[in-house]
Amino acid sequence: MATNGSMPSLASSVKYMLLASALYEPLRNALHNLGTNVGGVGGVGGLCNMGNPDDCESLAGRTGNYCFQAGLWSGLTGFALVVLLVWTSPIFLGALQKSVSTAKPVASEDRGRDSGDEPGAEPSPEPETASIELDGVLMIWSGLSCLWFGMPLAYMLADPFYRSSALHFVLAVALAAAFPLSWHLSLLALPPCKPLGPWLGLKRQDLLNLHKALGWRAAGWGAIHALGELIYVVSQQGFLSMFQLAGEKGENLLYLMGLVTALLLLVHTLVAYLRRQAFIRRTFKATHRTTASFLLLSATVHWWPFALFLLPAAAAYGTSAGLGVASQFGRQVSEARNSFALAAAVLGAFAGLCVVWKVRESVMLAEGVGLLIPFVFPPLALLAEFAVATAVCLPILVTGPVLHSEPLLG
């Protein structure tokens, strides 16, 4: 069994990711105020190559409000590269460090107990005692949520536009709620993930309870964001405006996909709420994973930076898929091999993103690009991240020793 002493590398990885999430918006807002091209609200423009349309001298290749700009490398802006480096390095370095530390020879009486070579290719032993208390994690998360929500709300309300009417105040609250919602969706899939969760310093049941708690909080933030946006859009343009997508109105797909994502979040929440009912109990896990997948893909269509922020989750679940294949082949997967596969999956996911983002750049710099085209690439990038992460980690996982289901006869 893995001891608590082997856990801090990946537990610390998530701590650094939480720190990065806390610092992201304050630093982005400060850079924006200094005139750096990091984008406006949430940094969408800086992360996704969109400049201020007022600064565009020509619409050729920079259709409408998107004002697409070439990236610094592989279609990625300098800001996106820095954010990706900060956001993915903790998981990559933590997994790499863990693969090295757990690969060290152990005493013969401990080998097998500490190697993580468990049946079914599941190197996920539960710690006897948790190194982190769930209540403490939730308290820290609550503080972060206040920061994620409070700071954007504060600087929005400092703008006279958002104070000019009750409707604009509702819009400010809705936009601010998108910040904690985005971080929840980016992070809540990690705790129950097989390659990562067992080494976060929480017992298995606490990991599940954490996932449930974050899921309910995500649903709450999603309700605030969706209802506020819906009230504002309907009052300004009418409900049917979201379905007008032809020509210059193509950007209305942003609002339509927001509505679709809100409905998927509602369905996903109902599935979780009704999980003990007889009609859903047997298929709950498969249904839960399916609705979660569609939810995240839809969210990525709605808010393009999810293609970047969901990269660690794509890598982790790519590794989980690889573990499933290894299990089918009856392979043992040690802690060291599992951690190395996770580190490789992060690089694979990054490669998948780069390929799609480079194609995106080539398409968007061409003339006559429609307003609907940009919505295709973020979910395609997310799928590529998962696919390449799975492909990269598979050779590592399926080349482990064969698990003997029957004792050898002498």
Model confidence at 5: pLDDT above 80: no
Confidence of residue 104 (pLDDT cuts 50, 70, 90): low
pLDDT at 202: 81
Q: Domain total for the chain?
A: 1
Q: Quote the distance between the C-alpha of residue 345 and its chain's center.
A: 14
Binning pLDDT at 50, 70 and 90, where does residue 186 land? very high
Q: Is residue 32 part of a domain?
A: yes
The answer to which of 38-52, 81-95, 108-122, 348-362 has the lowest mean pLDDT is 108-122
Task: Evaluate whether residue 59 is within a structural domain.
Answer: yes
405 located within any domain = no
Domain-located, residue 410: no
Residue 274, pLDDT score: 95
Lowest mean pLDDT among 130-134, 261-265, 324-328: 130-134
Q: What pLDDT shows up at residue 302? A: 98
Residue 404 included in any domain: no
> Which amino acid makes up residue 43?
G
Q: What is the pLDDT of residues 208-220, one digit of tens each?
A: 999 999 999 999 9
pLDDT band at residue 64 under the 50/70/90 scheme: low
Examine residue 53 and state whether it is found in any structural domain, yes or no.
yes
Per the model's pLDDT, the better-predicted residue between 331 and 248 turns out to be 331
Distance CA 35, CA 29 (A): 10
Give a yes or no: residue 268 inside a domain.
yes
250 and 202 Cβ atoms separated by less than 8 Å: no
Q: How would residue 68 be classed by pLDDT, with cut points 50, 70 and 90?
A: confident
Q: Which residue has the higher pLDDT, 129 or 298?
A: 298
Residue 133 structural domain:
4-397
Mean pLDDT of 242-261: 92
Say if 408 falls within a structural domain.
no
Instruction: Name 100's Cβ contacts closer than 8 Å, sequence gap at least 6.
Output: 336
- Specify the pTM: 0.90
Check residues 311 and 410 and name the one with the higher pLDDT. Answer: 311
Arithmetic mean of pLDDT over the chain:
87
Q: What confidence tens digit (pLDDT) does each residue in 113-166 have?
A: 434 444 344 444 554 444 568 899 999 999 999 999 999 999 999 999 999 999
Q: Give 311-375 as a DSSP string.
A: HHHHHHHHHHHHHHHHHHTTB---HHHHHHHHHHHHHHHHHHHHHHHHHHHHHHTSTT--TTGGG
State mean pLDDT over 14-41. 92
Please tell me the least confidently modeled range out of 23-27, 131-135, 314-318: 131-135
**Roughly what angle, to the nearest 10 degrees, separates helices 204-237 and 166-187?**
150
Q: Which amino acid is at 377?
A: F
Burial 58-80 (b: 16+ CB within 10 A, else e): eeebbbbebbbbebeebbbbebb
